[in-house]
A and B are shown apart, each in its own frame.
Chain A
Amino acid sequence: MGKQRAAVVGVGQTYYRAKREDVSMPGMLREAIDRALEDAGMTFADIDAVVVGKAPDLFEGVMMPELFLAESIGAVGKPLLRVHTAGSVGGSTAIVAASLVQSGVHDKVLTVAYEKQSESNAMWALSVPVPFTMPVHAGAGGYFAPHVRAYIRRSGAPLDTGAIVAAKDRQNALKNPHAHLRNPDTTVESVLASQMLWDPVRYDETCPSSDGACAMVIAAEDVVESRGVASPAWIHGQVMRSEPLAYSERDQVNPRAGRDAAAYLWNKVGVTNPLEEIDCAEIYVPFSWFEPMWMENLGFAAEGDGWKLTQSGATALGGQLPVNMSGGVLSSNPIGASGMIRFAEAALQVRGRAGEHQVDGAKRAMGHAYGGGSQFFAMWVVGNYKL
């Protein structure tokens, strides 16, 4: 079908912070974009098309901000796309950018995802009353806490499992210079001692609100070869799946869209035992308990066993399947970019460029994002070899 191979050849990130009052939106995006272009050894002149992703426009108060950003992100005179698929958007944006190359339409594509949450209050931007719809008025934590309670009841997971995830991710964040939260004293005990927000989700088990951007350059195989790119992250496969928010017998703890997406992806990239064959994973975990829940949903563990990976230390750096080596969404959460950060961090791992949080010898890594009420899923697998 003329499908061509694509690889990540450049990654750039801002330093994630609660408020970037020192830069405008264009300035913030350029920090990530300039670093990605430098990493790729390219300039704007090399780029064929630009794909922008971010979460709701109400977060910054600009309608379709890619329009006013066109000049500063190098999109003038080029095709410009704007993706928005709820919290999974960073992942979906990377997938759309990859498909521009895989389709054979372009061979060097810049993609960038961002959020400048400090421009507004995300919780209220998400709480506009909608006629004939039951308001949640509890933010994302209040929405997801019942799913976590259901998970604990079903699986019998020990109650400190979430705290183990949170302590691990916050410790991993100390090895990532871009991470937002840097709390060296975080331990399982300190997490368990933090305030309960939405039972059983405590303050320290919750993602922060961050400002930041993440960019990647994705190139076609012949560009990788002709430019002699030293360490490309080959895109082995990607998938998006969506399901409605509510339908009878919908399993919100272990949603079918996520299970179907993972099954499709493993089959597509020739993985039969993900736990054995994937070296590390960046998974979208905005509340600590979602690590064991997604381990099951993605097929790394049997249903009911996800917490055992966490409890055994398998998901820690040095474990069998390190998860969220960068500190994850729990340590940095510029919403629209959070999915792309997962995808980009997976690429950094197989390129051997993750610095202090590098997993030694990582050959194959997964990037994962989800959004809505656990309805929208985007995932990819990248490797340090062509598939």
Chain B
Amino acid sequence: MRDVAVVGFAQRQMREFDGSPNCVELLVPILTELWEQTGWSKSDIGFWCSGSSDYLAGRSFSFVTAIDALGAVPPISESHVEMDAAWALYEVWLKIQTGEADTGLVYGFGKSSASPLRRTLALQLDPYTVTPLWPDTVSIAGLQARLGLDQGAWSEGDLAEVAARSRTSASDNEYAVRKGETSVDDVLAQPMFSDPLRRWDCAPVTDGAAAMIIAATDSPLYEQVKERSATITGFAHNADASSLGLRDLLRSPSTAAAGKAAGVDGSTTYDVAELHAPFSHQELILRRELGLGTGTTINPSGGALAANPMFSAGLIRIGEAARRIWSGEARTALAHATSGPALQQNLVCTLEGAH
């Protein structure tokens, strides 16, 4: 495999987009930030890929106009996944592995606030037997959390600890929409939102977008940006069944499989892990599947409980992990992205600093 490094990252996360921008208005400033970070321009990018959802946008082919943000000519080598942009990053990484490109730019965007998100996401379930019952995202997560409480996999206090730590860590994150010094008692004092989940146990509905540039470290262009880079040491993803009745909801085999394929075998203690857990108990599942112990700082950005823009939150986990390697705060990091009901699909990307 070619060594590929994250060399640029920009993001926006907010409760609701101010002024309801279209995706071009949203992406242009983010891309501008990437050009400023790298000193590169459109012609330096070998492959482009994005992640977004038509259902979130409420229209077909919603991603088509996004390429207006990339400049008119020449035409670009480009693709799109109907998935979180973390998987778009995987497609870019693949393209670089084939040797057809040396550099790539990935972006994801979504306006979650435009519809009742938890209900919209019920459209991801089996359309013949499950969606007609409209089990929404929060209710499904509530069932999962209740199962864990009943079976002793976690306690109410364990969930509150995750929520409190996430809010507290997010204090320094300018993009977090939910943040502030918070104790376990503060969390437990909150009313139930969807029993046994409190509002702070659930990711906030968030609008947002993010973009990233990666480059093969053997390409001449990389020399220009290598001072600020985080090398991808493992990258894999995996899927579980959709049917909730076929799954042990206390486990996430696809997370464990993705971790294993990405080289997460317990031999490395990652300095930092950015886990995409939209509900507090899901962080506990992910930590167990990835074997993350006390030596690893979990979600220094505050994670998805602080802000969770659909279709870019997974990429943001990778960007947040890379950022900490750039700053020297971490030498090794693990980033994770999820998609689908109750952690159905999972991706793991490990990163390492050059120094």
Contact = CB atoms under 8 A, between A and B. Distances in A.
Interface of A: 1-3, 24-25, 55-65, 67-71, 75-86, 92, 95-96, 99-100, 102-105, 125-126, 128, 130-132, 239-248, 250, 255-257, 260-261, 372, 375-376
Given A243-B72, A256-B74, A92 B79 contact: yes
Given A2-B2, A84-B80, A257 B75 contact: yes
A82 B76 CA distance: 21
Contacts of B61: 56, 86, 126, 372
Interface band, chain B: 35 or more
Nearest 5 CB-CB pairs, A to B?
Answer: A1-B99, A56-B60, A103-B97, A257-B75, A247-B72
Interface stretch (B50-58, B164-172, B221-229, B264-272): B50-58
A57 B95 CA distance: 25
Given A68-B125, A242-B75, A81 B83 contact: yes
Nearest to A95: B79
A243 B61 CA distance: 14
B239 A64 contact: no
A60 B127 contact: yes
B95 A128 contact: no
8 contacts: A3-B99, A24-B128, A55-B60, A57-B54, A63-B53, A64-B55, A79-B238, A125-B60
Nearest to B240: A76
Nearest to A127: B60
A243 B73 contact: yes
Given A77-B238, A77-B253, A245 B82 contact: no
Contacts of B257: 77
Given A63-B55, A96-B91, A257-B75, A76 B98 contact: no
A3 B216 CA distance: 14
B344 A247 contact: no
B149 interface: no
Contact of A102 (B63, B76, B98): B98
A104 B72 contact: no
A260 B74 contact: yes
Given A63-B121, A104-B1, A244 B79 contact: no
Residue among A1, A61, A75, A372 with the highest chain B CB neighbour number at 10 A: A1
Contacts of B239: 67, 70, 75-80
Interface in B74-121: 74-83, 87, 90-91, 94-95, 97-100, 120-121
Contacts of B59: 58, 128, 130
A246 B24 CA distance: 13
A67 B74 CA distance: 35
A71 B82 contact: no
A67 B344 contact: yes
B82 A82 contact: yes
Contacts of B67: 242-244, 375
B127 A1 contact: no
A55 B98 CA distance: 26
B241 interface: yes
Contacts, number: 190
Contacts of B2: 1-2
A56 B94 CA distance: 24
Contacts of A376: 64, 78
B68 interface: yes
Nearest to A128: B59
B75 to A, nearest CB: 4
A24 B73 CA distance: 43
A263 to B, nearest CB: 11
B7 to A, nearest CB: 19
B313 to A, nearest CB: 15
Contacts of B241: 70-71, 76
B345 interface: yes
Contacts of B99: 1-3
A21 to B, nearest CB: 13
Residue among A61, A70, A100, A247 with the highest chain B CB neighbour number at 10 A: A70
B241 to A, nearest CB: 5
Contacts of A65: 127
Nearest to B91: A96
Contacts of A99: 91, 94-95, 97-98, 100
Contacts of B125: 68
Nearest to A106: B94
B243 interface: yes
A238 to B, nearest CB: 9
Contacts of B236: 79
Contact of B97 (A2, A71, A86, A242): A2
Contact of A84 (B70, B82, B340): B82
Given A2-B97, A56-B60, A58-B60, A68 B238 contact: no
A1 B79 contact: no
A211 to B, nearest CB: 15
Interface string B197-211: 000000000000000
Contacts of A372: 61, 64
A77 B254 contact: yes
B182 interface: no
A103 B64 contact: no
Contact of A105 (B87, B97, B123): B97
A62 B82 CA distance: 12
A70 B81 contact: no
Nearest to B236: A79
Contact of A240 (B73, B77, B82, B90): B77
Contacts of B68: 244-246
B123 A62 contact: yes
A83 B79 contact: yes
Contacts of A24: 128
B282 to A, nearest CB: 16
Nearest to B58: A128
B138 to A, nearest CB: 16
